[in-house]
Amino acid sequence: MSNKKNIILLGPPGAGKGTQAVKIAEKYNIPQISTGDILRRAAAAGTNLGKEAKKFMDRGDLVPDEVVVGLVDERLMDTDCKDGYILDGFPRTVEQAKALDLILDEKGDGITYVVSIDVDEDELIERLTGRRTCRKCGKMYHVAFEPPKSEGKCDKCDGELYQRDDDKKETITARLRVYNEKTEPLIEYFSKKGLKRSVHGSGGIDEIFSKITEVLEES
Ligand code: ADP
Ligand code: ADP
Ligand code: ZN
């Protein structure tokens, strides 16, 4: 099991979890499981769960643990997860981490890597306010750091780029506060289990990616 890539990407909003998760997924051919993406898709589809979740997301609050845990539990049953996966944005509370332990225990499985990406708050705010997302394929851009070739359009699929409702300044402040209160304690939680590795998340995307793969090549 030690070689298996069951990865958790930990870090504040804007740390680059999604950006790096896509690259890890490609390199190791394992799925990226982003609870934020799953919830946004449900909200866009207008399901009851999605509508309910959107109320929390728009305030910058966390969606209740039992909802998110249920979604992840279901997703982990898919066959593409059998050789590994990247959890991006989950767990976000100690309760979620404990629930994940139970889910994996039952399968005789477990997390093998926890990579925590650290970025200063000023830089997080800069990244989040400039983030743009493709409405069609979900690819991320940044107006200054990672601009599309043609303004407002996705390089990959020509989809429209939009700013997430929760990437507005007021909501960003709330999300960072929630991170500090509820998610940051997870760093200690995984440190105690001897799983946590930290990577500095400022610098170029490729530079950070190579630091992450270094960690993932350690056994
Ligand atoms: P970011 O990439 O900026 O950290 P995400 O896309 O991961 O943001 O999450 C967006 C929002 O979706 C969160 O602010 C929260 O409301 C909700 N969300 C995502 N993942 C979780 C989770 N594991 N637990 C609770 N809420 C979540
Ligand atoms: P998270 O999923 O942790 O919230 P994202 O991967 O969505 O973070 O990145 C947030 C924003 O910062 C995006 O607009 C992305 O293009 C940009 N970004 C990601 N990594 C870097 C980096 N190393 N340097 C500059 N900008 C970055
Ligand atoms: Zn696209």
Contact assessment for residue 202 and residue 122, using Cβ atoms and an 8 Å cutoff:
no
What percent of the chain is predicted at pLDDT more than 70?
99
pLDDT bucket at 3, cuts 50 / 70 / 90: confident
Task: Report how far residue 125's alpha carbon sits from residue 36's, in angstroms, rounded to the nearest whole number.
Answer: 18
Alpha-carbon dihedral of residues 46, 77, 115, 162, nearest 10 degrees?
-20
Task: Report how far residue 69's alpha carbon sits from residue 135's, in angstroms, rounded to the nearest whole number.
Answer: 25
Point out the residues that are catalytic. Answer: 17, 92, 131, 164, 175
Prediction pTM value: 0.96
Nearest CA to ligand 1 atom 2: 13
**Candidate from 121, 145, 210 with most ligand 2 atoms within 8 A of CB, to mutate:** 145
Quote the pLDDT of residue 1.
47
Task: Report how far residue 90's alpha carbon sits from residue 100's, in angstroms, rounded to the nearest whole number.
Answer: 9
Give the chain's mean pLDDT. 96
Task: Report how far residue 6's alpha carbon sits from residue 194's, in angstroms, rounded to the nearest whole number.
Answer: 15
What percent of the chain is predicted at pLDDT more than 90?
95
pLDDT of 76 above 70: yes
**164 alpha carbon, closest ligand:** 1
Domains within the chain, CATH numbers bracketed: 5-31+78-119+177-216 (3.40.50.300)
Report residue 139 CA to chain centroid gap. Answer: 13
Encode burial over 136-145: b for 16+ CB neighbours within 10 A, e otherwise. Answer: eebbbbbeee
Averaged pLDDT, 203-215: 96
pLDDT of 18 above 80: yes
pLDDT of 2 above 60: no
Averaged pLDDT, 131-148: 94
